[in-house]
Structure 1
Amino acid sequence: MLRSRRGAASTLSDSDRLAMLDELENSGLGWFWASDADGNLSYLSAAIAERLDMSLDELIGQPLQTIFEPIDGDGRTKSLSLMFGAHKSFSGFAVRSAKGRDGFVLRLSGKPIFSGKKFAGFRGTGTDITSEYHREAETQKLAKFDSLTGLSNRHRMAHQIETTLTAFKAAKRNCAILMLDLDKFKQVNDTLGHAAGDELLKQVASRLKRSIERECEIGRLGGDEFQVMIPDLDDRGELGDIAMKIITMLKQPYSLDEGRCVIGCSVGIAIAPHDGVTGDEIVRSADLALYAAKNGGRGQYRFYSGDLENEAIFRRRLEADLGTAVREKQLFLKYEPIVDAKSQKVRALEAHICWNHEQRGEIDEEEFASILEGSSSVLEVGKWAIGEACRHAAYWHESVNVAVNVPVPLFNHSDFVEEVSRALHEADMAPNRLELEVSEAVFFGDTNAVDRTLAQLFKIGVRLTLDEFGSGYSSLAYLRRAPFDMIKIDERLIAEADRHDSRELGLIRAIVALSGALEMETIADGIESNTLLASLLDCGIDRVQGPIFSDPVSKEEAESELLGEGWVIEPSGDRTKRARRRTVYRKIQVIHDDHSYEVTLRNLSKTGALIQGLADVPKGTQFVVDLGGGQLAVATVIRAMSDTQGLEFEQHLVDDGSGGLCTRHRVSPYALASAGAPLAALSPGNYKGMQGGLLGQQASVPQFGYAASATNEAA
């Protein structure tokens, strides 16, 4: 039977066989091509020409290699050319169009044809794999890139960092890692929806790309976390500028379909090999720096330093000690005046919580707020603050109210209203003298429970302030359904109005008009300049507060000022917001020739330092000042007073992102390794074999002795 079937097939005419070939080609099950001995196309299925959007006349007679090119530049066209020349069979070569319509992907196979022993050309098949190829390409892209922003994903970033650092270790090169976290991104999702959050992340990614004008790798690790790798950069001055540019660009307002919003950004920076040699080490260091930046008040950057880990551990201990702080009365309140915009009389005092810690000393209101955020003691501390503020305010003149910020967990707690009533009753204070500042974040929870709590507070008679209005998540729905007496405009919006054009002032003017229509008062916070104050008064703001009037003061100072006929504060542009700086008074090393001397650092600025401890040091003496962590600064003595010397740095220090100063560069561990030291981040002090900051000099006799005061102190 098999023979008869074969016999039947052989009886088909040439026209029937051609018809079968045409049907096969038209069905897409098989396409064919042929070339002559020179590699020029002699036949091509019409379906292929159609996919290329070219005519057969344009293709026949052309070399195959000029019509198709390899996928992803993998060099297969070159192999294809070699096979043509060697007259070898090939199969499975994926190629794309080099001419005609883009995006068409074909898998080619071919077999050489001989006439006797003479090569006559190739015959082959082609298969359309366009859809399959793009599916695989998309799968591979998803494995390496974030599907939402198009940036590298966590896996790709980890691989890129590890491979880069491995290569850079051999080449003794530097690499910086920046960790970024968006501030208050969650509230955008909660108020405007996840679609708005996704669009916001896309815009953040676009701004990130524009803000870094040098070779780098940018990735989204998930959620609102981003990472940047910048090769061959260890200049902390330049890195600080990049970080500030990122922070500034990301905090500009965003326009989304669902509304306008404003967010912030914190940045942690670590540099290999100083802060780590492997990918895990350097990312961990950058994470610690980011943690410190967020705890420092957000919207800032921070470089990694060796003491950050101890600082993080100590901070966790502080959070654990909060309960004890309340019970042992270590917490206390300071009060910031809220001033009537027209009369400049103090209308209210806003309570700020501080902590008199037995080891740390006084922890101010800004740092305490960052410690309290997310702590398990937030309910206990919040209740204490309301009770303490009411107890103090009961003794003030009845024309002065007390304002207390309410943490979201406390507001949402079942006995919150009862606690407020108890505090008022025990202090025997009129309810309308207590102003509770509530952030918009309270509306992210159970709507019915929030409305019930607000209604109960209104019934008690306390005054309610909607805090941080205009921060980007504001909704008129809050104002319609909640019995607020005041709107406090977000401090960041006020700051933008001070730095930029009248657009922000226009927004403030609109908020004032809205509050007036709803019979609410407005408060502007964070005012630092007379110019801004004048603009806000022109907008019609009712109440004002900020450094231009007063920083938070002690209870005793507030009570003293409130005596008499009222506290009036004249605004002064000379007052500026306190700069939070670390204590400079500490022991450091200075190096002269190959000798290291321990001295006390008394004063530090960008241009120089004041040291104490050495005797008989003449002007013009050059020291290498070791500020720790590989920070070596060449300095010259320009003033000499007994045991104290004034130094001038050859290269100015730069901001470290947290109110302190640091050197632009550090001694590379690779340089130490070449001199016989271990390849690791430097530890503070005592680098033997150094003269004028250089390695490998011969030893010499110490030229300076310690002053008597320094010797006694050391003893």
Structure 2
Amino acid sequence: MNGPQTATPDYLTLRDHPRARAAAFDSSPLPMALLDRSGRVVAANHALGRLLGTDPATLTGRAADSPSVLRLDGRARDDYRAALRGRTGPTRHIHRVKQGDGNPLWTEVTLTPLSATADAEPPAPAGEAATPTTLLTVHDITERRSLQEQLRHLRMHDPVTRLPNRALFFERVAAALADSTTGRIGLCYLDLDGFQAINDTLGHRVGDRLLDAVARRLTHCATDGGTGGHLVARLGGDEFALLLEDSTGTEQATDLADAVLAALQRPFDIDGHRLAVSASIGVVERRCSETSPTGLMQAADTTLYWAKDDGKARWTLFDPERNAHRMTRQSLSARLRPAVERGEFLVEYQPIVGLADDRLRGVEALVRWMHPELGRLSPDRFIPLAEDNGAIVPLGRWVLTEACRQARRWQLEHDGPPLFVSVNVAVRQVWDSDLVRDVARVLAETGLPAELLQLELTESAVMGSAGQPLQALQDLSDMGVRIAIDDFGTGYSNLAYLSRLPVRALKLDGTFVRGFRTARHLNPADETIVSSLVQLAHKLGLTVTAECVEGQSQAERLRRIGCDTGQGWHYARPLAPDRISGLLSGD
């Protein structure tokens, strides 16, 4: 049965009728051109002429990338010519093209080899001998590109201050490191001092308006005084950054930091509130070849921390030596707990001598770290770190055990009055561990009598004690353990308060004793202060030990004043346990 005839598809009609193909090409709303092997225009349609603001016939014979056609230059021209030479298949490139009136357009230019899409010869104007080999089409994507740029702007800028955000900031840092004309880069990384209190008390609306006002002042600083349009970004919270992409040196960066500090000193008037904030600024300036975006920010973050630690409302310049010291501290801090477990510590003992008879009465246990790489480290190198990160608890427990075990060994091996051993205790040991239970366990395990153990706490840790610390001190005293205040005279010096604490001994800070060195440098005030402290301490039933005794004249004057015991290099430096055994044996 014969049915109705099916209509011939358009592409077959065009293939079989050259005139129809030419008409479709010319009337297409899509800008197109036919190019020969050298990239010259064989034919251009009216849509391309309208796009470029010219008669399409005038484009014939011209190179498609020339100033009179697509007006490509630089990288756009290189990409176009590479695609034209390839001719292996359709290629698409985004190019910025100038219209006839000079206004730019963003276009997507597609090059399609004709041999891959047509069986017949493409149309050519009458009299044109060149054979077209490539179809060029041009899509106007200006609106799409504009929308993309708007979305990117929203994505890369802070909504509160409209400044570049962290993502865009790091893009610009990476670009500056690669393209800086001076080969140097600078950064001022700042944090607002006092902003959080304003945000918490007055609310986020006022806080956001304050951040916007700060951003405007920072932008003014970055463009004023010939500093030249440096990038200002909000990195989050109350943190901002000013990037010197073509830095001329440290002085330029520090001058900018000074300008920022001066600008933020002026109060801000926000919603009827007169608000004051300051800034701490970390300043980094270095060669581009010597850093990376991550390295630059790490240095800036470290330096900002220094600025806050140094007192806030200031800038601090990155110091490689200070940073190396910080890195060493971090490394030591991280290795403290494992070092205790590996047994890298040892205890030495400094004699405590009776001033009246020069007889050895006790010893102070002093811990040393035998570091595998750095060698022997004194307590001042690691004890503050241990107190900060909590390693002081296991370390202090180990020192206590070792010192009590050694003191018991001396008691068993030598005749005569036994030595007491004095062990330093950090206040964190009282809060973060059961010090009373630890001491009771160690005394039971070692067999050392409680009266031969003295625990030293700093004056600032003991004064004002309440709750757990005070109860722990009382329990230890009830157990028979002696409680001593170390470095007395450097803190509160409230002797009246001592009457309510279970303290048995005071250790005078060495700053008082140093004034006793020679009669030539005698300071009468020092002797008056020490004499008064000793008399008051004795009235409270406390014994007094003078630290840092370095000479005979000091020892004599302290004895005359009535100080009970002395400790220092005049008698001995900290010694190994066998050296203390020698002293006990009279060797």
Instruction: Compare the two structures and name the one with the higher helix fraction.
Output: 2
Instruction: Compare the two structures and name the one with the higher strand fraction.
Output: 1
Query: Structure 2-normalised TM-score?
Result: 0.46
Query: Structure 1-normalised TM-score?
Result: 0.38
